[in-house]
A = this chain, B = another copy of it.
Amino acid sequence: MNIPKTMKAAVLFNFGDLRLTQMPVPTLEEGEALIKVHTIAICGTDPSIIAKGWKGYPKLGEFIPGHEFTGTVVAVAPDVTELSLGDRVAVEPHKGCGRCQNCLRGLYTICLNYGNLKKGHRHYGFSTNGGYAEYAACHINTLHKLPASITFEEGSLLTGAATVLYGYERIGWIKAGETIVVTGPGAIGLMSAHIAKILGAGRVILTGTRDDRLAVGKQLGVDVTLNVGDTDIVKKVMELTDGLGADMVVECTGQAGPAAQALEIVRKNGRISYNGIYHEPVTLQLDKIVQWNLLITGPKAEGMLNLDRAIPLMADGRMNLKPLITHKFSLEEINKAFDTFTSRAGGAIKVIVQP
């Protein structure tokens, strides 16, 4: 394939100043493939990275953000035999160093050499360049072949789905038939609710403030939606569970209120997965963890190759994330794409960009 020397890319010149420019097409290091980016989805962390950077972000004026993307392999380093030119792939953002204690135990999303490029760590769109560009160089550890039945568009949501799956893995998966409350119908919340049913939950209850988002939940298979604006959530969940509480709560609002309330709606011996980003401290009735034998954890991103696990579920249509893709923009329109995403204009949930 004819690979140009330069490419269009959205580069962060200064905090808040993301602009399209020409950049050199990246060259490949050992273990890498060059990806012609087809679709990249805006993640909730992107606006914050653009506004104020990230620990160890690349030099301003050269930094290409973006980390939820799919594309086609157009070149591979000499040692790469795992992929062939033309392969359609989804990229996961974290590549561990492969030599710290955490990586060697399979925990590459919490690599102890985070941001240390010399040791081999990569975090596309965070500490190294990402996908808001025509091309991206990605390590094969982060590349996952897409079967023909998955479109590039839907495939760009696989990293989100993988994060949700990792959350379920860490909390011991779902025991068949469980009642699960998902709080917060953002993209991760909606995926959490949808996937819960796919993994055998008995009943999924979704709570939120906006009826249009709750309606998307319904479309994705949620059994019960509760609007926190007009419902006493604790009372209602207890009613729905014969006074016992939910088997699991998956907290996806990132807000202190629901994060604390999770302990009020979970049953004895129940589990709580915190899937949000919590900017503020949260005040909990901690004693309940002990007295009620609760188990609590949260997933750090798309660990343990859960992206691989998400693919077959999406490939046969059981996992259908298309309803989450509400807007599509070209790379030239990237700032408009971000505006749409952050203002939630037109009911925006996942906004994708196509270079």
Question: A residues touching B (Cβ–Cβ < 8 Å)?
Answer: 31, 79, 82, 98-99, 101-110, 112, 118-119, 140-141, 165, 168-170, 172-179, 195, 198-200, 202-203, 223, 244, 256, 259, 268-269, 274-279, 281-287, 289-300, 303-306, 308-313, 316
Contact = CB atoms under 8 A, between A and B. Distances in A.
Contacts of A289: 274, 296-298
- Among A168, A177, A274, A303, the one with the most B-chain Cβ atoms within 10 Å of its Cβ is A177
B286 A293 contact: no
Given A107-B269, A177-B309, A279-B287, 19 more contacts: A98-B98, A98-B99, A101-B305, A102-B268, A104-B304, A106-B107, A165-B176, A176-B306, A200-B200, A200-B313, A274-B286, A277-B290, A281-B286, A282-B283, A283-B283, A293-B298, A293-B300, A295-B296, A296-B296
Contact of A287 (B103, B278, B303): B278
A139 to B, nearest CB: 8
Contacts of A294: 297-298
B106 A104 contact: yes
- Among A179, A283, A289, the one with the most B-chain Cβ atoms within 10 Å of its Cβ is A289
A257 B277 CA distance: 23
Contacts of A112: 244, 268
Contacts of A277: 287, 290
A177 B312 contact: yes
Nearest to A80: B99
B299 A290 contact: yes
A275 B290 contact: yes
A109 B200 CA distance: 24
A319 B298 CA distance: 30
A112 B305 CA distance: 15
Given A278-B290, A281-B283, A119 B79 contact: yes
A321 to B, nearest CB: 14
A293 B299 contact: yes
B173 A311 contact: no
A178 B284 CA distance: 28
A293 B284 contact: no
Contact of A304 (B105, B173, B198, B292): B105
A44 to B, nearest CB: 13
Given A99-B140, A108-B104, A282 B286 contact: yes
A298 B306 contact: no
Contacts of A291: 298, 300
Given A101-B305, A199-B176, A306-B176, A274 B290 contact: yes
